[in-house]
């Protein structure tokens, strides 16, 4: 698709969301029901689950999923619910199973494929069959090394949904990159404020002067401006090589990138909860999780080529430290936005031309919320 200037895709009459969307617990309940528990959500990287038995737990509203590497080295996902009395099986957010998954209440146990293999004293129960009580599976898919899950009983086709971006980022070879660092932030603001903040650089000269010195904030061009995938690129200034503390590369340039890619940084939102940033020398991604109507949890991870860890020429901390500072600046302004929106005096105002992707996100968000 052809790239267009950010302002060119702003729909006439677009304005910010009404106050209710940020402060009403009933809206959050609808978001869980119609969005986070019905759509494909990013839950991390497959490389996190390196060995058999490695697992992580993802909590979304009242639901919880166990994601693990099974005995056949495949990645599976199951509801974190015992089939006996409904107890949540795993309390820790990550760990390693030996050969089975055991509930800590009455000792029911499942193998890594989710099959019930142990149920103490149930042999005497007439008609009881272990085959009738597997862990409930959760739909799972992998794309460019990222894991996505979907709690819906009849989830939409992942392949069909992701077809517009299936091979879009192949030049970055993301599936082979390694996560060198992750940071998790607790933000006292509605999750949508984080997505919206990421989707524009209108605020960059004021909130991020260091970032604005590396990429001109009015230089955005977008090729995806409606639906679940939104974004495009921003150019680097002539004397800058990447988004780092020094503006220089912090890792060897990623192989297979074009000359144009080496002069740009690409930013994309993958609804509902993933933010993907592609630099000449590394990839960064965020996952965003609502933890209340006025709070959310954001995890940011930095992915590098394996050679970056052993190189004496480069310093990956320049990227990590730069974005850690930028993230904190963003979270602070999101928290101030939450406080202001809570006021009865808040009312929607027009979006600027630099905020066209926010208007596109709002439109897609409301289409999901009201289904």
Task: Give me the numbers of helices (H) and strands (E) for the chain, helices first please.
Answer: 8, 18
Residues 216 and 301 in one domain: yes
Of 127, 143, 159, the one marking the end of a domain is 143
CATH number of the domain where residue 134 is located: 2.102.10.10
Q: In what order do the strands lie in the sheet with 100-102?
A: 100-102, 109-111, 116-118
Residues 177 and 274 in one domain: yes
Question: How far, in Å, CA of 124 to CA of 138, rounded?
Answer: 31
Residues 94 and 201 in one domain: no
Give pLDDT tens digits for 118-169: 999 999 999 999 999 999 999 999 999 999 999 999 999 999 999 999 999 9
Q: Which residues have C-beta within 8 Å of that of residue 328, sequence separation ≥ 6? A: 185
Residues 134 and 259 in one domain: no
Residues 97 and 175 in one domain: no
Residues 325 and 266 in one domain: yes
Q: Which of 178-208 are b and which e, b meaning 16 or more Cβ less than 10 Å from the residue's Cβ? A: ebbbbeebebbbbbbbbbbbbbbbbbbeebb
Residue 45 token pair: 């990287």
Q: Considering the domain boundaries, does residue 281 fall inside one?
A: yes
Indicate the burial class of 335 (C-beta count within 10 angstroms; 0-12, 13-18, 19 or more).
Answer: middle
Question: How far, in Å, CA of 168 to CA of 164, rounded?
Answer: 8
Residues 171 and 315 in one domain: yes
**What angle is formed at CA 183 by the lines to CA 178 and CA 188, rounded to 5 degrees?**
145
Which alpha helices (DSSP H) does the chain contain, by range?
20-23, 25-31, 158-162, 191-198, 204-207, 209-212, 317-341, 356-369
Residues 111 and 13 in one domain: no
Q: Which residues have C-beta within 8 Å of that of residue 272, sequence separation ≥ 6? A: 35, 36, 39, 41, 195, 365, 368
One digit per residue, pLDDT tens: the chain, 371 residues?
Answer: 799 999 999 999 999 999 999 999 999 999 999 999 999 999 999 999 999 999 999 999 999 999 999 999 999 999 999 999 999 999 999 999 999 999 999 999 999 999 999 999 999 999 999 999 999 999 999 999 999 999 999 999 999 999 999 999 999 999 999 999 999 999 999 999 999 999 999 999 999 999 999 999 988 999 999 999 999 999 999 999 999 999 999 999 999 999 999 999 999 999 999 999 999 999 999 999 999 999 999 999 999 998 886 777 789 999 999 999 999 999 999 999 999 999 999 999 999 999 999 999 999 999 999 98
CATH number of the domain where residue 176 is located: 3.90.380.10
**What angle is formed at CA 149 by the lines to CA 143 and CA 152, rounded to 5 degrees?**
135
Q: Residue 119 is part of which domain span?
A: 54-143
Question: How far, in Å, CA of 258 to CA of 88, rounded?
Answer: 48
Q: Considering the domain boundaries, does residue 347 fall inside one?
A: yes
Q: Considering the domain boundaries, does residue 189 fall inside one?
A: yes
Residues 214 and 285 in one domain: yes
pLDDT of residue 371: 81
Q: Considering the domain boundaries, does residue 152 fall inside one?
A: no
Question: How far, in Å, CA of 345 to CA of 347, rounded?
Answer: 6
Give pLDDT tens digits for 76-91: 999 999 999 999 999 9
Question: How far, in Å, CA of 46 to CA of 70, rounded?
Answer: 12
Q: Considering the domain boundaries, does residue 255 fall inside one?
A: yes
When divided into structural domains, the chain yields a total of 2
pLDDT of residue 313: 76
Indicate the burial class of 244 (C-beta count within 10 angstroms; 0-12, 13-18, 19 or more).
Answer: buried
Q: Considering the domain boundaries, does residue 156 fall inside one?
A: no
Residue 136 token pair: 């409930």
Residues 324 and 236 in one domain: yes
């Amino acid at each position: 698709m052809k790239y267009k200037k950010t302002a060119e895709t702003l729909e006439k009459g677009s304005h910010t969301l009404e106050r209710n969307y940020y402060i009403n617990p009933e809206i959050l309940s609808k978001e869980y029901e119609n969005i986070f528990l019905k759509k494909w959500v990013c839950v991390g990287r497959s490389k996190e689950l390196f060995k058999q038995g490695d697992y992580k737990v993802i909590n979304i509203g009242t639901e919880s999923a166990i994601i693990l590497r099974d005995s056949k080295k495949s990645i599976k996902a199951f509801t974190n619910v015992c089939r006996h009395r409904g107890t949540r099986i795993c309390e820790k957010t990550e760990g390693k199973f030996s050969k089975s998954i055991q509930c800590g209440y009455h000792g029911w146990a499942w193998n890594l494929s989710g099959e019930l293999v142990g149920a103490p004293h149930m042999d005497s129960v007439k008609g009881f069959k272990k085959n009738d009580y597997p862990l409930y599976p959760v739909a799972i898919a992998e794309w460019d090394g990222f894991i996505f899950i979907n709690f819906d009983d009849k989830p939409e086709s992942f392949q069909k949904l992701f077809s517009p971006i299936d091979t879009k980022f192949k030049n970055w070879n993301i599936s082979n990159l390694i996560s060198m660092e992750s940071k998790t932030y607790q933000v006292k603001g509605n999750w949508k404020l984080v997505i919206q903040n990421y989707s524009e650089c209108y605020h960059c000269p004021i909130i991020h002067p260091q970032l604005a010195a590396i990429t001109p904030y009015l230089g955005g061009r977008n090729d995806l401006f409606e639906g679940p995938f939104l974004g495009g690129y921003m150019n680097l200034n002539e004397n800058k090589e990447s988004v780092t503390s020094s503006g220089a590369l912090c890792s060897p340039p990623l192989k297979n990138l074009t000359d144009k890619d080496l002069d740009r940084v690409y930013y994309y939102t993958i609804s509902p909860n993933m933010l993907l940033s592609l630099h000449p020398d590394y990839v960064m991604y965020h996952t965003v999780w609502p933890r209340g109507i006025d709070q959310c949890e954001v995890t940011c991870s930095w992915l590098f080529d394996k050679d970056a860890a052993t190189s004496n020429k480069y310093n990956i901390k320049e990227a990590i430290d730069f974005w850690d500072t930028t993230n904190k600046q963003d979270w602070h302004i999101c928290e101030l936005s939450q406080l202001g929106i809570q006021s009865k005096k808040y009312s929607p105002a027009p979006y600027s031309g630099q905020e066209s992707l926010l208007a596109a996100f709002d439109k897609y968000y409301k289409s999901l919320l009201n289904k």
